[in-house]
Amino acid sequence: MKWLAPAKINLSLRVLGRRDDGFHELETLMVPLNLADELTLEPAAAVAPGGPASELVCSDPTLPTGLDNLAFKAAELFRARASIDLPPIRLGLQKNIPHGAGLGGGSSDAATVLLALNDHFSVGLSISELAAMAAELGSDVPFFVYRSAAVCRGRGERVQPTALPLSIPLLLLKPSFPVPTPWAYQRWARSRELPGVDYDPQTFGWGVMVNDLERPVFEKYLLLPEIKTWLRTQPEVAGALMSGSGSTMVAVLTEATAAESVVARAVERYGDLWTCACATV
């Protein structure tokens, strides 16, 4: 059986301050996309005594497949907490979401492993129990357990599912470089706005687009504010924003069929970009 691990974007991201535990207090509206990684489960061969009882195979050879991978960590955590003994399992992960992109691919993979194991082995954990487990893996992981747009607070682990009134057509553009999330948050407090770049909230019928992490990220990665500014001049684009800590830039399209023409002009102007026409779900 196949499970989908959807990407996300942050339609809004407010950083409210640094907490005593070293994390930052957030208020963010995150929404899942119809862009997704794909997860499969199958029995694994017998494992060595004392070794991990999970195995991960990933389509992206640059990603780790042991405890440095959140999906693998999720499988081992679930095994330790499950009320039944689970047989050895082999996880197959087809990566379609780029990493270092601000799209939550690793967090979504981890949450999907928890959901898949709970379902496949009929363990019977509730969504709230899975979300509490997910919070041990990372700040964004609980959001993906709910499979819904949500307002997330705290460090991201307090999830309040909500509904968007419509599906929003989007175009994602990512340069070849990633942005490390911890670095972006560390730079937030002392960052400044760049002259000529519009950081103001963009208001729509469904809500407001704004991202406080644009300030620190744009200071170092000057291509990103250039792309945002250019996108907002395109007639097919209603608004543009960086997702999460980047480096993906999100364009809200006036209509889904507009993506191809914007992509053609963006690639001509900026060269090598990963692009994806998608929508919120």
CATH number of the domain where residue 35 is located: 3.30.230.10
3-state helix, strand and coil shares in percent for the chain, rounded to the nearest 5: 30, 30, 40
Of 104, 137, 161, which closes a domain? 161
- pLDDT for residue 47 is more than 70: no
* Statement to judge: residues 120 and 208 lie in one domain: no
Domain, as residue range, for 41: 2-161
State the total domains in the chain.
Answer: 2
- pLDDT for residue 45 is more than 80: no
- pLDDT for residue 187 is more than 90: yes
The pLDDT assigned to 20 comes to 79
pLDDT in tens, 231-263: 999 999 999 999 999 999 999 999 999 999 999
CB atoms near residue 188 (< 10 Å): 18
**Catalytic residue positions, numbered:** 8, 140
- pLDDT for residue 200 is more than 60: yes
Closest CA to 106 of 57, 69, 150: 69
pTM metric for this prediction: 0.93
The pLDDT assigned to 7 comes to 98
pLDDT in tens, 20-30: 787 888 999 99
Banded model confidence at residue 52, pLDDT cuts 50, 70, 90: low
